[in-house]
Amino acid sequence: MTARELDAAGITEPVLRDAYTRCRRLNARHGRTYFLATRLLPVERRPAVHALYGFARWADDIVDSLDTYAPEHRRAADLALLHERLERGLRDAHARPDAHARPDGHNRTDGHARTDGHGISDVTGDGIDAGIDVGIDVGGGDEPVVLALADTARRYAIDHRHFSDFMASMRSDLEVTDYPTYDDLRTYMHGSAAVIGLQMLPILGTVVPREEAAPHAAALGVAFQLTNFLRDVGEDLDRGRVYLPADLLSAHGVDRELLSWSRRTGRRDRRITEALRAFEDLTRGVYREATPGLAMLDPVSRPCIRTAFVLYGGILDAVARDGYAVLHRRAVVPRRRRAAVAVDGLVRLAAARAARAARAARAGARRPGPRQPDTTPAAPAAGHEPTAVTTPPHPLHEEVA
């Protein structure tokens, strides 16, 4: 986390700054695609996104490190402790008064009140001292992540139910190893993916009432996770999990045993290829559900999400291009493609900022300013000295870091 980002977000407490910095490192290390997209956000919004990702990454690591982390009962206990820390941090953050929870003045967009999507207005509460106390009391290595998340939830009035739903899906991963139908998988993904999109909405901002954009944001979270499921079929199988719905697999003559055989031997099977292609088609359909939501976001947030949208879609392209060999190797988006998408995002971001500055300038021009004498000689026929209207400059000179 650069000092510039933290300063822009109004994060001044040293321990809190360190907490956000650790979340940023998690994002940079584990979420290359998403980290790249996040850098296209306005600087004051980036720390909050890193906090959301850092917490999700931490919980996911507890669940996924099956062979090297701990037995299942230990992982379940650690998830329960993490949830307890989170609830305490959120509660304490909510309880503490704060006069400037939103330093960016981002409480409204185009006249639409910002709520959490359930009619709940901004939560007050500083949460800094309370969050630090939580970390000191419980010890362990994850308290900075909880501290940053609780502070972000307070600043952006994120519905706490989204975090409870997320933790419920994480606990499910310790018990559920496959999904009979796509409906069963969607129930799981509400907590593991859809709520991530809903958590992001208050940070990104919208030009429509938030509840109108919420279904599309949820769909985008699901589309991203389905993409990961397809890319990581082999790795998930090694962890004992199959996220591809059993009814979709069986429609093509595939079951867990056939997947395990292909993973173990490195051999291909036409039936598996057809099932994976069907799962890709299903995933692209969810991307189509999410697409209308891009235009509903604050214009300065759109380049970030569009970049993630294109890069994750590129993973599907890479899987298809590699012949659906995901049981044997991971498909990746070429660096040249990633760079081209990032450059396009920068261009779009510059255009969005220029448009915002132009709108602000026009709004300023409509406001009557102080009258001042004009030093230009008056025209002979004017009969009076002309006046000039001054317009204050717009202070929008952010650089893309």
DSSP string of 218-274, one letter each residue: HHHHHHHHHHHHHHTHHHHHHTT-B-S-HHHHHTTT--HHHHHHHHHH----HHHHH
Which candidate, 59, 60, 61, 63, places its Cα nearest to that of 71? 63
pLDDT at 353: 67
Strand partners, 372: 388
pLDDT for residue 177 is more than 50: yes
Query: What does the block give as tokens for 15?
Result: 């321990």
User: What is the H or E stretch that residue 109 is in?
Assistant: strand 108-109
The pLDDT tens digits of the residues spanning 112-159 come to 333 333 322 232 233 333 333 333 233 334 488 999 999 999 999 999
pLDDT for residue 184 is more than 60: yes
Distance CA 75, CA 51 (A): 22
The secondary structure of residue 387, as a DSSP letter, is E
The secondary structure of residue 44, as a DSSP letter, is G
Distance CA 384, CA 380 (A): 9
Distance CA 218, CA 321 (A): 28
pLDDT for residue 389 is more than 60: no
Compute φ and ψ for 9, nearest 5 degrees.
-80, -5
Mean pLDDT for the stretch of residues 206-211: 97
Place of tokens 């299942």: 72
Residue 268 DSSP SS3:
coil
The pLDDT tens digits of the residues spanning 301-334 come to 999 999 999 999 999 999 999 999 999 999 887 7
Model confidence at 31, pLDDT cuts 50, 70, 90, reads low
| CB-based contacts of 25, cutoff 8 Å, min separation 6 | none
Cα 363 to its chain centre, rounded Å, is 32
Query: What does the block give as tokens for 252?
Result: 């093509």
pLDDT for residue 348 is more than 80: no
Mean pLDDT for the stretch of residues 22-51: 86
First to last CA, the chain: 11
pLDDT at 248: 98
Mean pLDDT for the stretch of residues 322-349: 78
pLDDT at 370: 47
pLDDT at 257: 97
Cα 56 to its chain centre, rounded Å, is 10
Distance CA 221, CA 287 (A): 9
- The residue count for the chain: 401
pLDDT for residue 400 is more than 60: no
pLDDT at 262: 98
Contact 122, 155 (CB under 8 A): no
pLDDT at 316: 96
Mean pLDDT for the stretch of residues 237-242: 94
pLDDT at 5: 92
pLDDT at 176: 94
Distance CA 288, CA 384 (A): 63
pLDDT at 58: 85
Distance CA 35, CA 304 (A): 10
Mean pLDDT of the chain: 78
pLDDT for residue 219 is more than 80: yes
pLDDT at 50: 93
